[in-house]
Amino acid sequence: MAKAKTDENGKVQIPLETIKRLGLKNSTEFELKQDDDVLVLKQIPPKKPRVKSSPLPASEKTEIEEN
């Protein structure tokens, strides 16, 4: 079992081997759950970026509306 520790600012230092094994990236967010003296970190999946599409030309809009 890997160990982690806090620094003088209270930040938890996760061992590099664990970071690599889990594929963690910079700014990975975690949900924290405390159960008595047990702290559980659950990775929050990153949100997929929304892709904006360009507006359709009027002629294509008409075709879609007619179908």
* Domains and their CATH numbers in the chain: 1-46 (2.10.260)
What pLDDT is stored for residue 42 in this prediction? 92
- Kindly provide the residue ranges of all beta strands, DSSP E only, lying in the chain, ordered along the sequence: 5-6, 12-13, 29-35, 38-44
> What does the pLDDT average to over 27-56?
86
The Cβ-side half-sphere exposure at 21, using a 13 Å CA radius, reads 6
CA–CA separation, 66 and 64 (whole Å): 5
**Residue range 50-60: mean pLDDT, rounded:** 72
pLDDT at residue 62 greater than cutoff 90: no
The per-residue pLDDT for range 24-39, each reduced to its tens digit, is 988 899 999 999 999 9
Mean pLDDT estimate for the chain? 83
State the chain's maximal CA–CA distance in angstroms: 66
Percent of the chain scored above 70 by pLDDT?
A: 82
